[in-house]
Structure 1
Amino acid sequence: MKKIALSALVVATLFTSSTYAENPAATKTAPRTTKAAGTVYKLQPQLSTLGWDAKAVTHGHNGTLQFSDGQLVVKGNQLIGGTATVDMKTLKATDITDAENNGKFMGHMNSDDFFSIAKYPTATFKITSVTPIKGAAANANNATITGDLTIKGKTNPVTFPAKVGVKNGVAAASGTATIDRTKYDIKYGSKSFFEGIGDKAIYDEFTLNFNVIAKQ
């Protein structure tokens, strides 16, 4: 069996191509506000996407996860905060087409070597700051997002560029975050902790690409 490349969340969340829902239906209830006077937009799991991509020395794997809940907080037409919850039980490897090999891979991903999904069924991301990127092109990343990513009960700060925007009652955020898995006690196959594993090593960093859509 091939050595297994890392996946996962979270995310930051968090988040590759951006899109806004066109002509969204207007809500009949008044928007909720936060203590910072921001309007809360509810994350739409059915419209949002989260993908992962991980590599080892000789191969790599990729797949998907699903958001289960979350929100984006908007002040005026600017994103100022938010949270996202990822259902780790939805973790899939989409590049492994053989059913038997896929089953073995996902069993390892669910185990304590990787995400301990039975013990930690969710991962979360909480935005702590959103900094506009001055002079950003219309179709480029226009903000730097920093937040706290929690995987396997361990929380670490992550920062990544993203494209964010608010239009017609829809808030959107998309981008790619690079995550160091070893900070979340996922050390299997890491050269940083196991010497002499050569081309069997799995790289410490993996990426999460996200496209989050939220509505009032």
Structure 2
Amino acid sequence: MKKIALSALFVAALFTAPAMAQQPAAKKTTPGTAKAAGTAYQIQPQLSTLGWVGKKVTGEHNGTIQFKEGNVLVRGNQLVGGTFVVDMNSLKVVDLTDADSNGKLLGHLKADDFFGTEKNPTATLKITNITPIKGAAADANNATITGDLTIKGITKPITFPAKVGVKNGLAAATGVATIDRTKYDIKYGSKSFFEGIGDKAIYDEFTLSFNVIAKKGNGVAAN
């Protein structure tokens, strides 16, 4: 709880600063053009959070995963790119308090018919474009992020809204991404592939809620 509260304070400080709200919007990168360099801000795993929610016909489960490493790229005062690496073996189930039930679900999620964490210990998101949302309210998502998400060695494009900001050597991004697990060969319990499973069905889409804090580094990297 202390970790979540501390990261929330960082995000609040970044997103409520008047200096940020008045900065010009970043220009959208056109595919095929030269990509501008950006200053690397290193992700702070101890301050960043990543939560998941998976739903089924009869209910839902939720938990957490930890960032392993990564960076966001900043040009001026705008986020222009980045790469995030997630430690899939840090996967936890939060909602089940019974140790036996928790262990069974966690073991299943780490097994090959779900995330196969032994063979695929990390998942990666590489940002390919960040487009400002014009006229976004101060407390709303202000950017659309597009990137390449790799899970179980399979890479697919993904797009999701987020609230991003940069100030005083810190960068933050928060939001919710919706992911279709079947695109990454995670088909267990999916009605899209198995008929007649009734109330045992697990929905194809799950969500990841992220709260990323990054600190300015010394290097310059290409976007």
Same fold (TM over 0.5): yes
Within 5 Å, which residues of 2 pair with 1:107-146?
107-146=107-146
Contact 1:144/1:159 (CA < 8 Å) preserved in 2? yes
Contact 1:18/1:211 (CA < 8 Å) preserved in 2? no
Distance 2:164 2:83 in 1: 14
Q: Tell me the secondary structure at the aligned position of residue 47 of structure 1.
A: coil
* Structure 2 counterpart of 1:9: none
2:11 equivalent among 20, 27, 35: 20
Question: Which residue identity is paired with 2:11?
Answer: Y
Q: Deviations over 1:123-159 (max 9, x none)?
A: 0000000000000011110000000000000000000
Unpaired segments of 5 or more residues in structure 1? 1-16, 24-34
* Structure 2 counterpart of 1:13: none
Q: Tell me the secondary structure at the aligned position of residue 107 of structure 2.
A: helix
Q: Does 1:188 align with 2:188?
A: yes
Q: Does 1:100 align with 2:100?
A: yes
Q: Deviations over 1:94-115 (max 9, x none)?
A: 0000001111111111111101
Distance 2:99 2:197 in 1: 28
Distance 2:168 2:214 in 1: 11
* Structure 1 counterpart of 2:165: 165
Question: For the structure 1 residues 185 and 174, does the alpha-carbon distance in structure 2 shift closer, same or farther, using more than 3 Å as the test?
Answer: same
Distance 2:9 2:155 in 1: 26
TM-score w.r.t. length of structure 2:
0.82
Contact 1:160/1:176 (CA < 8 Å) preserved in 2? yes
Question: Which residue identity is paired with 1:92?
Answer: K
Distance 2:13 2:194 in 1: 50
Q: Tell me the secondary structure at the aligned position of residue 106 of structure 1.
A: helix
Question: Which residue identity is paired with 1:51?
Answer: G
Distance 1:64 1:19 in 2: 20
TM-score w.r.t. length of structure 1:
0.85
Distance 2:9 2:133 in 1: 16
Question: Which residue identity is paired with 2:48?
Answer: S
Per the TM alignment, residue 196 of structure 1 is displaced from its structure 2 partner at its CA by: 0.4
Unpaired segments of 5 or more residues in structure 2? 1-7, 15-34, 217-223
Question: For the structure 1 residues 18 and 207, does the alpha-carbon distance in structure 2 shift closer, same or farther, using more than 3 Å as the test?
Answer: farther
Distance 1:149 1:215 in 2: 23
Q: Percent identity?
A: 72
Number of positions where the alignment pairs a residue of Structure 1 with one of Structure 2: 189
Distance 1:40 1:107 in 2: 36
Structure with greater contact order relative to length (CA < 8 Å, sep ≥ 6): 1
Question: Which residue identity is paired with 2:115?
Answer: F
